[in-house]
Amino acid sequence: MEPTYSPVLSVVIPMYNEEDVIELLVARLRPVLDGTGQPYEVVAVDDGSRDATAQILLGVRRTWSQLRVIKLRSNRGHQAALTAGMHRARGAYVASIDADLQDPPEKIAEMLDLAQRENLDIVYGVRNDRTTDSFFKRWTAGLYYKLMRRIVGQNVPSQAGDFRLLSRATVDALQQLPEDKPVYRLLVPWTGFPSGEVHYAREERAAGSSKYPLSKMVKLAFDSIASFSAAPLRLATWFGGIGVVVCVLMLLLTMGMYVAGETVPGWASMFVAMFFLGAVQLVCLGLLGEYVGRIYAAVKNRPMYYIGHDSLDEPRVIASDDAVELDVAAVR
């Protein structure tokens, strides 16, 4: 086991099938962290990758002692991998960044300097230029942040994802929350701790493919809403009220036609009313089921992840640069 020390900065990087981008990430991240002149560690969390991500990281670690590799036993998702890294990070400040280099590592030093200079607990990385994203991605992201600001409050920064820096006090506070499915881009501003912002232009993915398709973005949006608001459940009240109004109007229409001596097409009106009320009931039951299911999962309190390996717990092997290059080439 390596001797323990207390780094000033921990950088947590969740990874899933990122073998193509690791070399580029290290080339940009390491000079930035070395240039801070402060003790640091890089916590790379392999989220059950099916490629050579873990092997390449372990090879890089031979010449970069500050790199720490944590392997989850199975793929648990981006937020679970991020949670694992944050919970095991040792720094007085903990930064999180994705491996795809769409968020510039160079901004981490600026975040740390801002936090220390102004005694801030949170520094958000805010995208002020997303021209590299598609129109659909920009539109849906804008819609998401507007909705979240209405639900959680105006303290949710617009266009801020999981690229941020947190103080140790903030990390400890988040760890105490009994969240089954944490959404940190909402939980962090919810704490209300002193915060600042660093702005940057979002870049294109450096290599590999996106790990956040439309289905995962929809799931993130629903998790965000369900974790911070009971508004979907209130839809039952609105649907019920609309149903009552529609039924009253249909009743008045029927009575008026009866008084006028006109024939009432009963089967059509009854058919529409039954389908409408049945659909409303199914929607309400589905929403209720989602919340009950979340309560059930929270009561079970199952672990969000399992650690399969942490390089901090093993002796570090020193190798030459040439040997590392051979190891990386071999796993490819």
Tens digit of each residue's pLDDT (9 = 90 or more) over 105-133? 999 999 999 999 999 999 999 988 777 66
What's the rounded mean pLDDT across residues 90-97?
96
- Structure confidence at residue 242 as a pLDDT band (50, 70, 90): confident
Count Cβ atoms within 10 A of the Cβ of residue 4 and give its class: 0-12 exposed, 13-18 middle, 19 or more buried. Answer: exposed
Q: From its phi and psi, is residue 82 left (phi > 0), alpha (psi between -120 and 50) or beta?
A: alpha
Q: Give φ, ψ of 14 to 5 degrees.
A: -70, 140
- Sheet of 40-46: strands edge to edge? 195-201, 122-129, 160-167, 93-96, 9-15, 40-46, 67-72, 307-310
**Is a pLDDT exceeding 70 seen at residue 303?**
no
3-state secondary structure of 249: helix
pLDDT band, very low/low/confident/very high, at 29 (cuts 50, 70, 90): very high
Q: How far apart are the first and last CA of the chain?
A: 29
Residue 243 has pLDDT above 80, yes or no: no
pLDDT, position 124: 94
**185 by DSSP, 3-state: which?**
helix
Of the candidates 193, 188, 197, which has an alpha carbon nearest to the alpha carbon of residue 224?
A: 188
Cβ-proximal residues to 279 (8 Å cutoff; 6+ apart), any chain? none
Report residue 310 CA to chain centroid gap.
Answer: 22
Its pTM stands at: 0.71
Instruction: Mention the CATH class of domain 9-228+304-331.
Output: alpha beta
pLDDT greater than 60 at residue 322: no
Tens digits of per-residue pLDDT, 188-200? 988 889 999 999 9
189 vs 191: CA distance, rounded Å:
5
Cα separation of 306 and 34, whole Å? Answer: 31
**What gap in Å lies between CA 180 and CA 172, rounded to an integer?**
16
Confidence bin at 232 (pLDDT 50/70/90): low
Please say if the pLDDT value at position 86 is more than 60.
yes
High-pLDDT (> 90) share of the chain, %: 39
pLDDT score of 329 more than 60: no
Question: Would you place residue 87 in the very low, low, confident or very high pLDDT band (cuts 50, 70, 90)?
Answer: very high
Confidence of residue 158 (pLDDT cuts 50, 70, 90): confident
Give the number of other Cβ atoms within 10 Å of residue 108's Cβ: 26
